[in-house]
Every structure is written in structure tokens, then in C-alpha cells.
Amino acid sequence: MRIPDMLTAQERYTTVGLFQRLNIISSLLYERAKGTGSLILVRPNHPDVDYLVRFQKPVPFHEPRWARKILTMAGPEISLIASGGRILGLGRLKPQHDPSRFDSFTIIFLDHYEWEFRHDQQPLLYSHYREPRLPQPPISQERFRSNFLRIFRNASARDAGRLWGLFEAGASLNHGSMLVVAEDAASEAARLSDQGPAIRPAPMTSALLERVSGIDGSILLDPSGTCRAIGVILDGEEFEDCSPARGSRFNSALRYVHGRGKGRMAIVFSDDRTVDIVPLLNPQYQEERD
């Protein structure tokens, strides 16, 4: 890590009240549409910036409605380029850019009043309705593994590792989704086939998860990580812990997991980038012996 670059970035951006400005921009609608897109913070004449459009007059952050209007031009492949509290134009970083220099940072506008500050795809700060959060794993790998193996007694350590990889992949998505792991996934896929397409058994991978998680419904797996159904609508009776304060995915997970015996686990990836595991068993503690 090059400390001088980090200090330069701090000096360049904290003086313009960046956090407050980004919150205001993310809160504004343009023609009733929420703002999404990305903004790259980098020095104006960085050799690795490929400008597609450069404004003769930069757009200042302290004019948020103007900045929000400009944000509509950003998309998956094109970002706003900004420095010193001003939007300089539209462009992207060249493929040869070296992120280890820590001389560029990216703001991802995710939804209304929701954005994330990143370096090289690594989240550094997340803000939702002006409430900042530092990135932290929702659960440790050790506890996830223990929880998984206690629910699925016949599963292997390799199975637990495979599901942990899917957990990490799902947590990195920019949209909500739900994984359901069931010992009887094969028969459940057949039973629920009218509520979601059963498929030929296929190993679930991170790349496949990214593609199939974009549709409504849950992804049904067996404990080995084999996918049995996608986009399936779960059933289940009302459960006492269901709450209107929680989202529909979370309540659906509670009803399904607790409604039909044992050997069920759901991983709920919410739109607000929180993750819930149902059930999440209390940690086991080994008693100390004299």
C-alpha cells in the first residue's frame, strides 16, 4: 500500500464534504427515476482514465440536482469521472490500470439513498439513508460451517466449503435473492414444480448463481450444492417469528424452513445488502475440564 497516495486521496476529497454530497445526490429523483450508476474518483489527468466525454465546465458536487441529472448518463460500462468535488466527464479506467497504487476509488449508486464506496471492487463503506456502515462479514466461515454441519448431519466438510463459497458469492450480489438447502431437495423440487421450474441436477457455481438469482423465487439446493430448482415459490404455514417489519424473503424462509420437519436451511440476501441465515443455531461451546 502506498501511503502517500492514500493521503493525497484524503486531502483531495474530504475537504468537499464528500459523504454529505453523495447522500444528497443519491436521494434525488430525476424524472421520477432513482439514480444508479457509478462515479470514479481519480486525479483529472490520470493517464489510465479513458475519457469518452469531457465537460468544458465541470459539474460541482455542491449543485446536487445538476450532478444527479448527469448521473443518468452513467451505466455499467461508463462512469462519471470526478475529482476535487467536481464531475469532469464520462469515461472509464483502462484495463492496464494498476489498483495497487490506490489512486482511484469508485462510488456505486445502488438505489434510492443507497451507495457504496469501493476500491477495486472491494467495499470500503456502505451508506443507506445517511447511515454509514463499514463492511464486515455477516458470519464467520467457522460459524457458518458449524451451523451447516449441525443441520445436515450427513454432509461433509467439502459440502460445507462449497456452500460457504456460494454464500460469499450471494453476499456480493447487488440484488436480493435466496438460497434454500434441503436434504429432500429432489422430492421438494418435484412437489413445487408448479411453482417454479425444476431442472436437471446441476452443480451450483458462483457464476451460475449470479445468473439465476436475477429472477423471482428461491434457488433450491441439496446439501452437496447441487441445484434442483430455480425461481421456486416456497410454501409453509405462518410461523410465530414472522414479522411485517422484515422483508417477504425472510418471512418466506421462516415459514418454509420451520414448516416441514428438519434438514432445511435458508440464506436470505436482502436488497439492503444484509444477509440472514435460517436457522442460525447458537454457537457450541466446549466445556472446560480440569
**Residues 26-50: tens digit of each pLDDT:** 999 998 888 889 999 999 999 999 9
Give the full edge-to-edge strand order of the sheet including 114-119: 49-60, 86-93, 79-83, 37-42, 104-111, 114-119, 122-128, 131-133
116, 121, 133, 91: which is closest to 22 by C-alpha?
116
> 246-254, long-range: CB within 8 Å, 24+ apart, which pairs?
247/176, 247/271, 249/176, 249/178, 250/276, 250/278, 252/178, 252/218, 253/178, 253/180, 253/278, 254/278
Domains of the chain with CATH codes: 3-133 (3.40.1700), 141-278 (3.40.1700.10)
Cis? peptide before 99, omega within 30° of 0: no
What confidence score (pLDDT) does residue 275 get?
Answer: 87
CB neighbourhood size of 184 (10 A): 15
Give me the percent of the chain exceeding a pLDDT of 70.
86
What confidence score (pLDDT) does residue 288 get?
Answer: 40
Q: Which pTM was predicted? A: 0.58
Average pLDDT, the chain: 86
36, 60, 14: which is closest to 116 by C-alpha?
36
What confidence score (pLDDT) does residue 196 get?
Answer: 78
**Residues 180-203: tens digit of each pLDDT:** 999 999 999 999 888 877 789 999
What confidence score (pLDDT) does residue 31 get?
Answer: 87
Query: Are the beta carbons of 280 and 147 closer than 8 angstroms?
Result: yes
Total length of the chain: 290
Write the DSSP symbol of residue 99.
G
Grid coordinates in use for 207? 457464476
What confidence score (pLDDT) does residue 240 get?
Answer: 62
What confidence score (pLDDT) does residue 290 get?
Answer: 36
What confidence score (pLDDT) does residue 186 get?
Answer: 93
Mean pLDDT of 84-94: 95
Grid coordinates in use for 28? 434525488
Please say if the pLDDT value at position 223 is more than 90: yes
> 161-164, long-range: CB within 8 Å, 24+ apart, which pairs?
162/224, 162/225, 163/221, 163/223, 163/225
Query: Are the beta carbons of 107 and 42 closer than 8 angstroms?
Result: no
**Residues 52-67: tens digit of each pLDDT:** 999 999 999 999 999 9
**Residues 99-110: tens digit of each pLDDT:** 999 999 999 998
68, 130, 80: which is closest to 105 by C-alpha?
80
From residue 14, how far is each of 8, 11, 44, 66, 84 by CA, in Å? 10, 6, 17, 21, 9
- Judged by average pLDDT, the poorest of 7-21, 34-48, 145-159, 274-288 is 7-21
Residue 146 amino acid letter: S
Which residues, in sequence order, are CB contacts of 220 under 8 Å at separation 6+?
180, 182, 185, 188, 189, 192, 196, 227, 228, 229, 230, 232
Mean pLDDT of 103-119: 91
Mean pLDDT of 120-128: 84
241, 281, 234: which is closest to 260 by C-alpha?
234
Mean pLDDT of 246-274: 81
- Judged by average pLDDT, the poorest of 83-97, 152-166, 192-206, 241-255 is 241-255
**Residues 130-183: tens digit of each pLDDT:** 888 876 667 889 999 999 999 999 999 999 999 999 999 998 887 889 999 999
What confidence score (pLDDT) does residue 4 get?
Answer: 42
Task: Please provide residue 251's backbone torsions phi and psi, each rounded to the nearest 5 degrees.
Answer: -65, -35
From residue 60, how far is each of 55, 70, 89, 92 by CA, in Å? 11, 11, 11, 19
Please say if the pLDDT value at position 243 is more than 90: no
